[in-house]
Amino acid sequence: MNGLGVPTKNSNQKSFSCFAVLMALCAAAHVSVHLPQATFSASWVLGVAIFLIAMQLIYQPSVRVFLGLAALQVAHVVVDAPYNPDHWLLLFFVNLVILTSAIKVWRKDHAVTPERLMETLAPGTRLVFLVCYGFAAFAKFNFDFLFSEHSVALEMLGYQIGAMPSLSWIIWPPAIPWVTLGCEAAIPLLLLLPNRTRHLGILIGVFFHAALIISPAIKVFDFTIVVYTMLYLFTPAGFERNLRQWLSGIRKQAPHLWHLLSRLRGIALLTPAIALIVTSTSYPLLEIPPRLLWLRWMVAMSIICGLGGLCMIGLFSGDRQKLSLEWFPRWGLPYAVVGLAIVNGLCPYLGLKTQGSFTMFSNLQTEAGAWNHLLMPESVRVVGQYQDRLVRVLASNDPELNRKYIEPGLLAPEFELRRRIMQQPSLSLTMADGDQEVEINPASQDAILGTPIDLLSRKLLIFRPVSPDGRPFTTN
């Protein structure tokens, strides 16, 4: 960066490298939690490929590997749909912007350089993040999140205190729902405002999402790393320069240690890649043994604290030039992605899918007779045949139905039962129909539950369980 604060070519190159490494960390964090047991299915193969390419991108950032990782992540979301966590869907929209931006740069320059790619992708990526995060905050403007004793904020606090009892001495539970809503609403609003206020939005985002995983009971560090990655795009113009100066100081003061770490970098990245593949052949990492939970939490916290520390150094050391952010892409395709993200976020209110729409941990209810949002009117609900057709399952030979609906005493959306019957044709269940019990099995050929669901609906729609007694369903 020159004396006038104008980014130089080297500064833009470093900007791409930082963003590429952060995107690789996002992908690696997701796969480390969600890689299924090895079945050599398309999902498993793509997951392993994503992790290996992410390690390569961390080791040596390049445009080709960066775009390859983006394409693989998009493919993985399509293959796994509709069972994608919210942070993975956010990265899906971001990677669509990245890939369309690469196409734009290639058509204009006949080459995709780091500088031009970052310049082209940044506006659309910022808009996608603000839309998706805005919906996550907006969903919490509901009665049950703010006023109910069953607020998911209080439930998550209980998990954290259970794992770290000392937290009870510094936290006042009644304030937690309001603090959570205040932080989540403030982050996108402050990021839209001028430079110093934007810094405050970045700081709130860093500390709030670090606090969410302060105990190993809350396993959402993959979402935290995604948020940190998106916040990077809102940092001031002197951010990368400050980081380079700080790292150069360490390199000069401890050259031998720096050289040793550089030599060991490849081994440090190869080890977790091998461990991930080997362990997935014996058990899913999602069900990691209890004795290793603390180890995984410590690794995740070390990465997040490290990223948070680098953020503080970049924001508050050296120069802090003002950054006039560009919000609007200069061509059409990124707007189509932003529009897709908006439609996705509106789905629960319209009467469509209730998961994967950035309503995670919000207590939001949009079923007929249970609408609890304080700002969105129920009149926007234009589709009723999905969310309102609920079934009480009394017994089943399917472990998944037992785990999701019967044991917790929750109602199953008819759509999800039909999906499960298509997946398991030998499935049998007993459901309540008024005061009677109805047996559904392969021989009964039930006229409703046995009706197949078309492929597009199976890929786009997914519905969470519903509580029969008005108590909100308080998980993701």
Domain assignment of residue 3, yes or no:
no
90 pLDDT above the threshold of 50 = yes
Give me the torsion for CA of 372, 376, 382, 385, rounded to 10°.
Answer: -20
What was the pLDDT predicted at 238?
77
Higher-confidence residue of 39 and 199: namely: 199
Q: Taking residues 51-63, report their average pLDDT.
A: 90
Domain assignment of residue 402, yes or no:
yes
Is there a cis peptide before residue 82, judged by omega within 30 degrees of 0? yes
158 pLDDT above the threshold of 90 = no
Q: Taking residues 441-465, report their average pLDDT.
A: 81
Amino acid at 246: W
Band (pLDDT 50/70/90 cuts) for residue 285 is very low
**Selection from 362, 391, 331 nearest residue 102 by Cα:** 331
Residues 366, 278 share a domain = no
Residues 302, 204 share a domain = yes
Q: Are 448 and 431 in contact (CB under 8 A)?
A: no
Residues 224, 77 share a domain = yes
Domain assignment of residue 290, yes or no:
yes
Number of domains making up the chain:
2
Higher-confidence residue of 294 and 194: namely: 194
pTM assigned to the model? 0.88
Q: Taking residues 180-196, report their average pLDDT.
A: 89
- Distance (Å, rounded) from C-alpha 467 to C-alpha 476? 14
Listed range (94-108, 240-254, 357-371) with the worst mean pLDDT: 240-254
Q: Are 124 and 337 in contact (CB under 8 A)?
A: yes
**Selection from 20, 72, 11, 10 nearest residue 44 by Cα:** 72
105 pLDDT above the threshold of 60 = yes
Q: Taking residues 238-260, report their average pLDDT.
A: 74
Residues 410, 323 share a domain = no
9 pLDDT above the threshold of 70 = no
Domain assignment of residue 343, yes or no:
no
pLDDT tens per residue across span 135-146 = 999 999 999 999
- Distance (Å, rounded) from C-alpha 70 to C-alpha 63? 10
25 pLDDT above the threshold of 80 = yes
Q: Taking residues 21-44, report their average pLDDT.
A: 83
What was the pLDDT predicted at 186?
95
Q: Are 99 and 67 in contact (CB under 8 A)?
A: yes
Percentage of the chain modeled with pLDDT above 70: 81
264 pLDDT above the threshold of 50 = yes
Residues 384, 256 share a domain = no
Domain assignment of residue 254, yes or no:
yes
Residues 259, 190 share a domain = yes
Listed range (70-74, 155-159, 235-239, 246-250) with the worst mean pLDDT: 246-250
70 pLDDT above the threshold of 80 = yes
373 pLDDT above the threshold of 90 = yes
Helix/strand/coil percent split, the chain, to 5: 65, 5, 35
Residues 373, 307 share a domain = no
What is the average pLDDT value for the chain, to the nearest integer? 82
Listed range (262-271, 328-337, 404-413) with the worst mean pLDDT: 262-271
Backbone dihedral region for residue 413 (phi beyond 0: left; psi -120 to 50: alpha; all else: beta): beta
- Distance (Å, rounded) from C-alpha 296 to C-alpha 278? 16
Q: Are 76 and 50 in contact (CB under 8 A)?
A: yes
Q: Taking residues 78-89, report their average pLDDT.
A: 93
What was the pLDDT predicted at 130?
96
Domain assignment of residue 466, yes or no:
no
Residues 306, 368 share a domain = no
Amino acid at 386: Y
Ranked by mean pLDDT, which of 1-10, 235-244, 371-380 comes out on top? 371-380
Band (pLDDT 50/70/90 cuts) for residue 245 is confident
**Selection from 223, 210, 399, 216 nearest residue 290 by Cα:** 216
271 pLDDT above the threshold of 90 = no
- Distance (Å, rounded) from C-alpha 244 to C-alpha 1? 11
- Distance (Å, rounded) from C-alpha 405 to C-alpha 401? 6
Q: Taking residues 78-98, report their average pLDDT.
A: 95
Q: Residue 176: which domain range? A: 9-336
Domain assignment of residue 350, yes or no:
no
Ranked by mean pLDDT, which of 14-28, 58-72, 224-238, 251-265 comes out on top? 58-72
User: What values do phi and psi take at 402, rounded to 5?
Assistant: -60, -45
Q: Taking residues 350-362, report their average pLDDT.
A: 92
Residues 93, 26 share a domain = yes
pLDDT tens per residue across span 405-444 = 988 889 999 899 889 888 888 888 888 877 777 888 776 6
Residues 318, 207 share a domain = yes
Higher-confidence residue of 97 and 7: namely: 97
Ranked by mean pLDDT, which of 125-129, 308-312, 386-390 comes out on top? 125-129
Dihedral angle sign, alpha carbons of residues 36, 365, 373, 364: negative
Band (pLDDT 50/70/90 cuts) for residue 64 is very high
Higher-confidence residue of 347 and 440: namely: 347
Domain assignment of residue 1, yes or no:
no
Residues 315, 382 share a domain = no
Band (pLDDT 50/70/90 cuts) for residue 284 is very low
Q: Please give the DSSP secondary-structure letter assigned to residue 438.
A: E
Dihedral angle sign, alpha carbons of residues 154, 157, 162, 167: negative
Residues 186, 140 share a domain = yes
295 pLDDT above the threshold of 70 = no
Band (pLDDT 50/70/90 cuts) for residue 263 is low
- For residue 373, the cross-strand partners are 142
